[in-house]
Amino acid sequence: MKGEFIMEKHIINAETGLQYTLVGDYYLPNLVLPAQKEYTIGRFGRVRLRYLKNHRSRLYTELLTSGMLNAHLHEIDEAANDRLEILTQQMAIAQSVDEQLKAENQMAWVQQMNNIRNKVEEIVMSEVIYV
């Protein structure tokens, strides 16, 4: 076959040092994420991930391509859980929701603790997750 040009399977860009592989008619860069520690991501980390994808796509892409996304989500998850615990304790003390109330009237204690928990989750979401 005359005039047919055969493309190499792998090439290296002399200027950047990046390696490329021929896929179909295009050369795609051989990109590999750096090794990173895998963390289990909890509820707040998953909410943060959804927020980043939907509202902060640039930050999401930067964290993803740098290999720092999982560590960031883990850090946010821990910070949110710590903040949740501290604020819940503080609000329970401020509103006199204690073991005595729990012993005397369990339903009232559960209702008040649920209200406190809901308020605290809103605070944590606005202070830690949606930033």
Asked if residue 8 is part of any domain, the answer here is no
pLDDT in tens, 74-100: 999 999 999 999 999 999 999 999 999
Asked if residue 120 is part of any domain, the answer here is yes
pLDDT in tens, 28-70: 998 876 677 889 999 999 999 999 999 999 999 999 988 899 9
- Is the pLDDT at 1 greater than 70, yes or no? no
Asked if residue 113 is part of any domain, the answer here is yes
* Separation of alpha carbons 2 and 95, rounded Å: 87
Residues of the domain holding 92:
39-129
Pairing of strands 10-12, 26-29: unpaired
The token pair that represents 41 in the structure block: 């991501």
The token pair that represents 97 in the structure block: 């929701």
Average pLDDT, the chain: 92
Asked if residue 25 is part of any domain, the answer here is no
The structural domain count of the chain equals 1
Q: Is the pTM of this model over 0.95?
A: no
* Confidence band for 3, pLDDT divided at 50, 70 and 90: low
Asked if residue 26 is part of any domain, the answer here is no
